[in-house]
Structure formats: structure tokens, C-alpha cells
Amino acid sequence: MHGRPRKSPKPEDEAASAAKAQKLRALQTQFLSNHHEKNYTKEALEISAKLLEINPESYTAWNYRKFAVEYNLAHSNSDTDSIKSILDDELRVVESALRQNFKSYGAWHHRKWVLNKGHSSIDRELRLVNRFQKADSRNFHAWNYRRFVAALMSRPEEEELNYTTDMINTNFSNYSAWHNRSVLLSHLLKQKVEGFFPKEKVLSEEYELVHQAIFTDPDDQSGWFYYLWLLDQTVKGDAPLLVSSWPLHGSSITLSGDKCLEDSTLSSSCCYHYDSGTFPLILYFSQAVEGVNSSTVTVKSSFCTDNDLTWKPLSTNNSKMAQVWVTHIKFPDKDLHCSEVYHLEVSLGHPQGIISISGFNYSHPTQITFEVRLQSVQTEPLEEQNGKMISWEEANFQKHEIQSQEPNPVESLNKLIINDYREPTTSNWRAETLANEIALFRELLSEISCKIGKLTLARLLKAHDAILSQSPQKMVHSEEILRLYGDLIELDPGHSWYYKDEWSLVCLQQVISDGESLMTHCYHYKDLKGSSFSNFICLRLNNLSLSRIGSVEKLLWVQMLDLSHNELRSIEGLEAMQLLSCLNLSYNKLSSFSALGPLRLLKSLKVLDISYNEIGLHSTDTTRYLFSSPLSHTEDIDWTTDEIVSGGINQTYHWEAFLIFKGLNITQIDVSGNAIENENFKAFVIRFLPIVKWLNGELLH
């Protein structure tokens, strides 16, 4: 064990082991015969008890005893003494099994099952678990059972919290005690129990306690994990907040289409094209919520009512809870005049009903107002537009320059982050606490080299920057954070992908931290005049070594995005960018079509480049399922038999692509440089994705 060479067993040990195995086989044979024949006599139960004493992990034996208990209880004539005797026998069997192995899942679960019958003494259970915790104070089975017993006894959580304090003071390296403390404190803080409010006072005392552990023995991880939980409580608020929206509060947008009278005086630099006669209204929350509907969010305008709107969660796993919600506002069929300004007002949080994943209500009434102008765009006929292919070559892009008479499309970037509604005293406490912790950990790391210390300092710095970002300041600590994650990649290569992802989030946040920085990545695509893409600004985030996408709440306005030449293995988060029409994901590390799942929610997407990835290279996509088969996929599959096999093409070979692209309006796709690129895939596109006009740079029809 743990690198130690095994010793050859002694002859007497081998003989004892053989005798034990023979006895176990004999008991197993007798037990299975009784189980099959539903024999619940006293003798049969003794055989199962002996089997469990030798092998407490026999789940079948525990299930057999449950059947036996139910049978004997049914034939006890409801006699209280008989019922208690039957259940006490079960508790004795469990206790005997736990002496053999007090980490047996089956034994602990069976004991809970017996106690839930309600005829056993609970006080004795607390004494029993105390004995087990003295034998092994870190046994998480015993701690879990202790929580169960404390709940049955209605034991005050304050007393249990004091117990964890005693256990931690006895041994700082007691992860189970720290974990139990976090569970108890979460309940006490949420309920605002006397002595546990205000939250800031309680958390400050917890910092002092955990400092003793991590500074006494920095190599022990128990206190560090509790510290990370404590940091999370410090940074995150309980109630969900509205982080951003599109359109922005106070913004003025221009929608281009063919349903309004032309007004050439309007600027085109902030235009958004809508083919369907609708445009999205997006709400981005700080955490996943449910309950976003016409009752909790009201939209007032001269051309639509709440009854016309259906809110949908942007979730890739079909959940009813999501961090991002969207509805589509539809303009009436009659012509609208471009000379007019149409005002919209969105209100939420007035009636409660929006609830976070942690059970808190959105309780900060918010109002978002913006105005909409319309202009017509003289586009070429669709057939002629199809003769033009979007090419992502460098020569086709030119830096976006803001003219003095034109609005800056990202000048309202600071409006994306809606103000934090916490009390000023709370925000000040958070900032001061984080600053003090940063100073402590910088001092610690100046004396020792500690991986988890570097990780914690990086998280502290990132959290501190998040507080500062609510003011006009740029990120203060980004360079230091990037250095720390760079060090961790070298020090701990086994977790390098995690550190790389965190590095990517900070790098991207640094790039788009303010309008000035973001504008250096904004370009215009040449030769789009006359097409529906002619007003687009392309945000180019290529060649940044990104492995993960973040800060999407600041990119809801983007319609053309270049993420090529990065190290992306997932595009999770892009589903929030509902305006996205052109997307370049070439030269990344996407290993399957299932990694493109968020694209299913981007109904405006028309151009997609996923060339030179690893799609089709791996026979098994272990990130989502074990076997490459539709039967093991988590998504709903609603295709018909005709869709599976049609025109001599077996669609099951490309079922992942079918799931992703079905229902989208993609007219141009590039998969060249992937293992999936072959004539079979081309035939699949032609047969099942007839709207596609360009495939791998070739005009199909």
C-alpha cells in the first residue's frame, strides 16, 4: 500500500485465510438459499448475521434483513415489545458489523433505516457515534450519521457547532469536522439565529480560527478547504443579483431589417439585424434562478405586452434553472417608421418569485429602460449573398475606428455590471477583509512554497478585483494572478488543465475589463456591403491561449466572434450570446460535436468555422458519456426513422452533428482539418442540412 512492497504471507496466515474463505462460501450458500425461499426464521436470520459480521459489505444480505424485518413486523400483531425487540436485534447486528468495519456504507444505511422506524432510543445513538469518533475522529461516515441523529433529536445546531470546535482544537487535521462546521454555519447564517448575525462578525471570527490551522501546518489541506468555503461566503451574496442585460439600461439601439421606412440619417455602427422580426431581451443573473416569467418580469412598450412574451432558460441540460434567461420581442407586422423612437421598460423584482438555486428570492427591484430605432437595409437577394463566403483570413479585417459623430458600440460597457445591492458597510467589510487576507498570504508565501497557498492567494486577488471592478478602476491584480497560475501549472502538472482554465478566465477578463482595452480587439470585416452582416463589429479574441471562455456577461452585444488559435475544449457560456451570427472556433482542441452543445441555443448563428480541431479523432467522448451512441447521450432525441436512414445515408454515424445543427439556420460551415471530414459527412450535410450553402469553402448549390 502507498508504494510499500508486499510481503509474502506466512503459511499460518494462508491457512487462516483459506479457512475464512471456506466458511464465507458456506454461509453465502445457505444465505442465498434462504433469501430465494423467503425464509425469515430465527435460524435464517442468524446465518445472515454471521455473514455480515464477516463481510459487512454484502448489500444483498442487508436488503434481505430489510425484507425479514418487514415480514416479522407484519406478523407481530402490533405488539410494542415485539416490534422493539425485532428492531433492537437489527441494531445489534449493525453494531457487530461496524466493529468489523466501521466504514461500511451498507451498515450505516441499515442503521438509519431502522431508526427511521421510530421505535428505538435516540440518546443511545449519540453515545455510540461518540465512541466511533473517538476511535477515528475523521471518519466521515460517523460524522454523517451524527448529523442524522442530531436532526432526529432536534439537537440545537449551536451545540453541534461547539462540538466541531472541540474536535478541531484537538486535531486541526480533521477535514470531516471542518466540513460539518461549514454545514452547520450555513444553516445558522441563513436562518439568522441569535448570535450568528450579522454575518460579517461571525465570518471574521471564523477567519481567526482557520488561520490557526493553516499557519500552524500549511501542508495540511483540511483547514485550507474550509478557508476556501469561508472565502466563498465572504465574496458571494445570498440573494441573486442581476449582473447584466441586453439591451443595456439607458442604451439606444438600432435594429436593421425590411419592415421599416428608410432613414439615412441614422448611424449604422450600433445596428443589429433581425431577419425574423424579433430581437432578444437577455437577463444575466449572478447565479442560476427559476421563476422568470411574465408575472415576475414586466415589459412595457407601445407594441408588445407581457402576454406576448415567453421566457426561456438558456440551459444546455434542459434544466428549469439557469443563470441566463431570454425572451424575444416581436415587432408588429405593420410598417414601423424609422424616424420614431420606441421606448421599452423592463421591471423585475417587484413581485417575488425569482428564486436562486440556493433558495433565496431575487429581492432587489430593478428597472431597465432603453430605446429602439429601426432602419431598413437594402440587402442583395439571398441567392447573390450566398455567392459570398465569410473568410476569416487576417487580410479581411481592419481595425474598427470610432468616428466623432458615431456612438461607441462599447462605450456603455460599465453599464453591463448592475450595481451591487449590498449595504455599504458590508461591501467595505468585504474589501477590507480580502485586503487583510492578501497581505497575510503574501507574507506566508514569502517564507514557504505552498501550492494551495498560491491557489488561495490567486483566488483572493481575483475576488478583490471583482469588488474593485464595480468602480471605474481596471483590474489591479491581474498580472500577479496570471503569474501565480503560471507557477501552479509548473509546480502541479497533474492539475494543469484546471490552472490553465483559471488562467484563461483572468486573461480574458483582463482583455475586456474596460472599453478602451476591448476596442483594441474590435474589427470590421471588409467587403460585406450589401449583406446582412454589413453592420457587424467582429470581436477578435484569437491567439490568446484561452482554454475556457468567461466574462460572457460583458459580451452579450457581440454578433461576430473570432476565437481561433486558442486551446478551447469547451464553449460553455456562449449560449448567452444570443446575437451571435458568425463564430470562428478553428484551431482549438474541441474533441467532439458534443462539445458544441451550447450552439443549439444560438438561433441567430449562420456562419461557423470549426476547422482544425480534434472532432472525430477520438472514438469515445469521455467528457459526457462512456460509449459513442445516441442511447447514452443526455440530450432528448426526437428524430424519426426516416431521418435516421434516408437516401442511403446512415445518419447514426453523425448523430451528434445532427443534434447540434438541427433547428439552426447555419448557411456556412467549415470542418476541414478534422477526422470527421470525409465524403460521408458531406453527403450527410447535403441530405440533412439543406440550408447549408458553403461547406469547407466549397459552394454546394
Q: Is the pLDDT of residue 486 over 90?
A: yes
Q: Is the pLDDT of residue 625 over 50?
A: no
What is residue 348's predicted lDDT score, i.e. its pLDDT? Answer: 93
pLDDT tens readout for residues 528-540: 555 556 567 899 9
Band of residue 303 on the pLDDT scale cut at 50, 70, 90 = confident
What is residue 5's predicted lDDT score, i.e. its pLDDT? Answer: 60
Domain boundaries defined on the chain: 242-378, 424-469+475-508, 515-699
What is residue 533's predicted lDDT score, i.e. its pLDDT? Answer: 61
> Do the Cβ atoms of 27 and 47 come closer than 8 Å?
yes
Using a pLDDT cut of 70, give the percent of the chain over it.
81
Say which residues have a Cβ less than 8 Å from residue 660's Cβ, sequence separation at least 6. Answer: 593, 594, 596, 597, 599, 600
**Interatomic CA distance for residues 82 and 69, integer angstroms:** 11
pLDDT tens readout for residues 136-192: 888 888 999 999 999 999 999 999 999 999 999 999 999 999 999 999 999 999 888
* pLDDT, mean over the chain: 83
Say which residues have a Cβ less than 8 Å from residue 47's Cβ, sequence separation at least 6. Answer: 27, 30, 31, 34
> Do the Cβ atoms of 41 and 68 come closer than 8 Å?
no
> Do the Cβ atoms of 565 and 543 come closer than 8 Å?
yes
> What average pLDDT does this structure show over 351-379?
83
Q: 413-427, 614-628, 657-671 — which is least confidently predicted? A: 413-427
91 alpha carbon, distance to own chain's centre: 41
What is residue 351's predicted lDDT score, i.e. its pLDDT? Answer: 83
Band of residue 382 on the pLDDT scale cut at 50, 70, 90 = very low
Specify the CATH architecture of the domain 242-378.
Sandwich (2.60)
pLDDT tens readout for residues 437-468: 999 999 999 998 889 999 999 999 999 988 87
The grid cell for 411 is: 462605450
What is residue 264's predicted lDDT score, i.e. its pLDDT? Answer: 35
Q: Hey, what CATH class is 515-699 in?
A: alpha beta
What is residue 631's predicted lDDT score, i.e. its pLDDT? Answer: 39
- Radius of gyration, CA atoms only, the chain: 31
b/e sequence 459-492, b meaning 16+ C-beta within 10 Å: bbbbbbbbbbbeeeeebebbeebbebbebbbeee
> What average pLDDT does this structure show over 483-506?
95
> What average pLDDT does this structure show over 267-286?
74
* SS3 call for 324: strand
> What average pLDDT does this structure show over 214-239?
89
Q: Could you tell me which residues are beta bridge partners of residue 560? A: 538, 582
pLDDT tens readout for residues 519-563: 889 998 876 555 556 567 899 999 999 999 999 999 999 999 999
β-pairing verdict for 278-290 and 336-337: unpaired
What is residue 654's predicted lDDT score, i.e. its pLDDT? Answer: 78
Q: Which amino acid is at 310?
A: T
**Burial class of residue 648, CB neighbours in 10 A (0-12, 13-18, 19+):** exposed
The distance between the two most distant Cα atoms of the chain, rounded to a whole number of Å, is 99
Q: 34-48, 103-117, 380-394, 677-691 — which is least confidently predicted? A: 380-394
* SS3 call for 633: coil
Give which of 298, 578, 151, 236 is closest to 430, Cα–Cα.
236
Say which residues have a Cβ less than 8 Å from residue 80's Cβ, sequence separation at least 6. Answer: 119
pLDDT tens readout for residues 588-609: 999 988 899 999 999 999 999 9
β-pairing verdict for 645-646 and 649-650: antiparallel
Band of residue 619 on the pLDDT scale cut at 50, 70, 90 = low
> What average pLDDT does this structure show over 655-664?
85
The grid cell for 485 is: 497560475
The grid cell for 388 is: 459570398
**H or E element in which residue 424 lies:** helix 424-447
Band of residue 686 on the pLDDT scale cut at 50, 70, 90 = confident
What is residue 282's predicted lDDT score, i.e. its pLDDT? Answer: 96
Q: 315-324, 419-428, 584-593, 672-681 — which is least confidently predicted? A: 419-428
Helix, strand, coil shares of the chain, percent, nearest 5, are: 45, 15, 40
**Strand ranges, E, within 77-223:** none
Fold: same for 242-378 and 515-699? no
Band of residue 265 on the pLDDT scale cut at 50, 70, 90 = very low
What is residue 690's predicted lDDT score, i.e. its pLDDT? Answer: 87
> What average pLDDT does this structure show over 323-342?
77
pLDDT tens readout for residues 80-125: 888 989 999 999 999 999 988 888 999 999 999 999 998 888 888 8
> What average pLDDT does this structure show over 208-219?
91
Say which residues have a Cβ less than 8 Å from residue 280's Cβ, sequence separation at least 6. Answer: 246, 326, 327, 328, 329, 578, 579
> What average pLDDT does this structure show over 390-408?
73
Give which of 246, 119, 106 is closest to 559, Cα–Cα.
246
Using a pLDDT cut of 90, give the percent of the chain over it.
50
**Strand ranges, E, within 604-665:** 607-609, 645-646, 649-650
What is residue 34's predicted lDDT score, i.e. its pLDDT? Answer: 93
The grid cell for 329 is: 420581442
Q: Which of 102-111, 125-134, 368-377 has the largest mean confidence?
A: 102-111
